[in-house]
Amino acid sequence: MHTLGGLALVFLYEIGTALVLPTPSELPIIGRTWLPIGWVFVVAVAGKILGSYLVFFLGDRMKETARFRRLADRYAWIRALLSWSERFVRRYGVVAVFVLLSIPGFPDTVSLYIFALVGRRPVLFAVAAGLGTAVRMGLVLAGVLGFQHATA
């Protein structure tokens, strides 16, 4: 039961990092000493996919609201950010989500919301975010294990 509780926390944490938490997605690898690391990866990726899908769903709905349109009309920096983001997403698409979310320490919450405002195909973007999280966690885990090996 201890393992299931820990994995449930990893799942909820990854949903939270997609939605609101400005914390690193790779943090769950800390639990590798008391949770099966393979399951940590699976559960973390599933949580990130669900959380990212929710972000894309919310972003898609948000950009259609009158309040958001008024903000975009009022502030030039919002229009500029949306314009740049739309060009970036059109040019690089899902690959951009994957690459950016593969970078350890990269703030994924903000980037997910930006992609959500201009992107289409939320399922594909959410899967790319989940796979990027897996790569990010793998890189950090390799670094931690390499450091432990080097100091042993």
* pLDDT values of the chain reduced to their tens digit, one per residue, 152 residues: 588 888 999 999 999 999 988 888 888 888 778 888 889 999 999 999 999 999 988 887 777 788 888 887 888 887 887 788 778 777 887 888 888 888 888 878 877 887 777 767 888 889 988 999 999 999 998 988 888 778 86
121: region left, alpha or beta (phi > 0 left; psi from -120 to 50 alpha): left
Domain segments of the chain as ranges: 2-151
pTM for this predicted structure: 0.83
Give the model's pLDDT for residue 68. 80
Residue tagged 């698409």 (tokens) = 93
For residues 84 and 91, the answer to whether their CB atoms sit within 8 Å is no
Q: Which of 47, 10, 49, 17 is nearest to 32 (CA)?
A: 10
Give the model's pLDDT for residue 51. 94
Two structure tokens written together for 22: 């400005």
Residue 119 CA to residue 112 CA, distance in Å, equals: 10
Strands (E), 16-128: none
Give the model's pLDDT for residue 84. 80
For residues 12 and 47, the answer to whether their CB atoms sit within 8 Å is yes
Give the model's pLDDT for residue 94. 81
